[in-house]
Amino acid sequence: MGRLDNKVAIVTGGAQGQGASIVRSYVAEGAQVLIADVAKDHGQALADELGDAAHFVHHDVSDAASWASVVDDVNTRFGPVNVLANNAGILRFGDIERQPAEEVELLWRINQMGVFLGMQAVTRTMRKNGGGSIINASSVEGLAGMPSCTAYAATKWAIRGMTKCAAMELGPKGIRVNSVHPGMIDTPMTRVHGGDAAMEFGASRVPLRRVGHPEDIAPVYVFLGSDESSYINGAEIAVDGGVTSTHAFGA
């Protein structure tokens, strides 16, 4: 019996990297999954690979109307959504003196507003159908600081705070809300900022002396999406090889 049998999930940013690993793990454990992403080719290819248990939709997480369409789609296609993996996000580095306001706003709209709108969009369905689990992707930069990361970290600290407030508000409705805080994970999003050299630097700062991989993150999402975590609410779970045991990457 799969750990996610009878679960219906939305995974944002599910077409590649960390999100794709979450999608594959969810399907392997018995869930039906809506893959929501702006990357059409990768998302459709993943849905085709996984068969009837997965479906891809083009989705802009910063758009409330897009969220309403996604929730309607999954509710009609698979049944009432009861797991939301708010995984979509972007990474931009920038010095305080020089980072353009437009880039700061883009980070806020996708990372922070996207998570808020996702929680808002699924709450009614979850409440009416006995509850659910929302898993918000923060970061180790939502637990500690790093130079040239102020705008990005602001969104990840915000996600951490929103998660705790939502856990208190939605808990009485049977909806659990938790945050996951990955460290440096080897994905296309992180590799674009330095490639192999960045991965080597990251590994040198981690007590386990390696960077993470998407397969290191997905099991946490499976656990939090399953009934095994039924008494976990408002928690923040670092999956970082131990880097936040002492300091951030930039220390």
pLDDT band at 147 (very low <50, low <70, confident <90, very high): confident
**Is the pLDDT reported for residue 240 higher than 60?**
yes
- What CATH number is given to the structural domain containing 199? 3.40.50.720
What long-range pairs does 196-201 form, CB within 8 A, spacing at least 24?
none
At 247, phi and psi to the nearest 5? -160, 170
Sheet of strand 8-12: strand arrangement = 54-58, 32-37, 8-12, 83-86, 132-137, 175-182, 236-239
Question: Which uninterrupted H or E stretch holds 42?
Answer: helix 40-50
**Is the pLDDT reported for residue 249 higher than 60?**
no
pLDDT at 181: 97
Looking at the structure of the chain, the number of domains it has is 1
Q: Is 221 a catalytic residue?
A: no
Question: Which uninterrupted H or E stretch holds 54?
Answer: strand 54-58
pLDDT at 200: 74
pLDDT at 171: 98
Question: b/e map of 4-30 (b: 16 or more CB within 10 Å)?
Answer: beebbbbbbbbbbbbbbbbbbbbbebe
55 vs 76: CA distance, rounded Å: 12
**What is the per-residue pLDDT across 46-92, written as a single tens digit (0 to 9) for each?**
999 999 999 999 999 999 999 999 999 999 999 999 999 999 999 89
At 46, phi and psi to the nearest 5? -65, -45
% of the chain at pLDDT higher than 90: 77
pLDDT at 209: 86
Which stretch of 21-35, 98-112, 133-147 has the lowest confidence by average pLDDT? 133-147
Residues forming beta bridges with residue 215, ordered by sequence position: none
pLDDT at 1: 63
- Identify the domain containing residue 32 by its residue range: 8-235
Closest-CA residue to 136 (of 16, 11, 229, 5): 11
In a domain, 240, yes or no: no
Give the mean model confidence (pLDDT) for residues 133-151.
91
In a domain, 220, yes or no: yes
DSSP category for residue 229:
G
Say how many residues make up the chain.
Answer: 251
CA distances from 94 to 91, 107, 213, 240 (A): 10, 11, 25, 22
Residue 37 neighbours by CB under 8 Å, 6+ apart = 12, 13, 14, 15, 16, 19, 43, 56, 58, 59, 88
**What is the per-residue pLDDT across 95-139, written as a single tens digit (0 to 9) for each?**
999 999 999 999 999 999 999 999 999 999 999 999 999 999 999
pLDDT at 192: 63
% of the chain at pLDDT higher than 70: 92
pLDDT at 149: 85
In a domain, 247, yes or no: no
In a domain, 152, yes or no: yes
Point out the catalytic residue in the list 26, 152, 221, 231: 152
In a domain, 1, yes or no: no
The answer to whether the Cα torsion of 217, 9, 64, 17 is positive or negative is positive
pLDDT at 37: 98
Of the CA atoms within 13 Å of residue 251, those in its CB half-sphere come to 14
In a domain, 245, yes or no: no
In a domain, 109, yes or no: yes
- The single-letter code of the amino acid at 100 is P
Q: Are 7 and 133 in contact (CB under 8 A)?
A: no
**Is the pLDDT reported for residue 157 higher than 60?**
yes
**What is the per-residue pLDDT across 182-224, written as a single tens digit (0 to 9) for each?**
988 886 766 666 666 776 777 677 888 888 788 999 999 999 9
pLDDT at 189: 66
